[in-house]
Amino acid sequence: MDTGLEPVCLRRNTIVVLLGIDGSGKSTAAGALKDLFPSRPVLVLGNYSGRKTIAGWALRHRIRVPGRIADAMETAVRVFNVLINHVRASRFDGLVIMDRHLYCQVALRKARGIRRGTALMTLAGILPQAHAVVYFDIPVEQAYERIRLRGEDQETIKGLQNFQAGYRELPCYPGFRTVDASGSREGTLLQLADIITLVSHRVPLHSSGRRA
pLDDT digits (tens, 9 = 90+) for 165-204: 999 999 999 999 999 999 999 999 999 999 999 999 865 4
Long-range contacts of 62-70 (CB under 8 A, 24+ apart): 67/112, 67/113, 67/114, 68/114, 70/112
Cα–Cα nearest to 66, from 99, 21, 112: 112
Average pLDDT over residues 13-22: 96
Residue 131 domain-assigned (yes or no): yes
Contact 181/25 with Cβ under 8 angstroms? yes
Stretch (H or E) spanning 132: strand 132-137
Residue 2 domain-assigned (yes or no): no
Q: Assess whether pLDDT exceeds 70 at residue 9.
A: no
Q: Assess whether pLDDT exceeds 90 at residue 70.
A: no
Dist. CA 142–CA 49, nearest whole Å: 24
80 three-class SS? helix
Q: Is 18 left (phi over 0), alpha (psi -120 to 50) or beta?
A: beta
Contact 18/98 with Cβ under 8 angstroms? yes
Cα–Cα nearest to 4, from 211, 184, 205: 205
Q: Assess whether pLDDT exceeds 70 at residue 114.
A: yes
Task: Quickly count: other Cβ atoms within 10 Å of residue 77's Cβ.
Answer: 17
Average pLDDT over residues 32-46: 92
pLDDT at 57: 67
Count, residues in the chain? 212
Average pLDDT over residues 201-208: 51
Residue 176 domain-assigned (yes or no): yes
Question: Which distant-in-sequence residues (6+ apart) come within 8 Å of 5 by Cβ?
Answer: 204, 205, 206, 207, 212
Residue 110 domain-assigned (yes or no): yes
pTM of the entire structure?
Answer: 0.86
CATH number reported for the structural domain that contains residue 179 in this entry: 3.40.50.300
Residue 166 domain-assigned (yes or no): yes
Residue 212 domain-assigned (yes or no): no
Tally of domains within the chain:
1
Per-residue pLDDT band for 150 (boundaries 50, 70, 90) equals confident
Residue 7 domain-assigned (yes or no): no
Angle between helix 119-126 and helix 102-112 axes, rounded to 10 deg = 160
For residue 172, the enclosing domain spans 14-199
Cα–Cα nearest to 103, from 21, 33, 161, 29: 21
Residue 208 domain-assigned (yes or no): no
Q: Assess whether pLDDT exceeds 60 at residue 2.
A: no
Task: Quickly count: other Cβ atoms within 10 Å of residue 24's Cβ.
Answer: 27
pLDDT at 133: 98
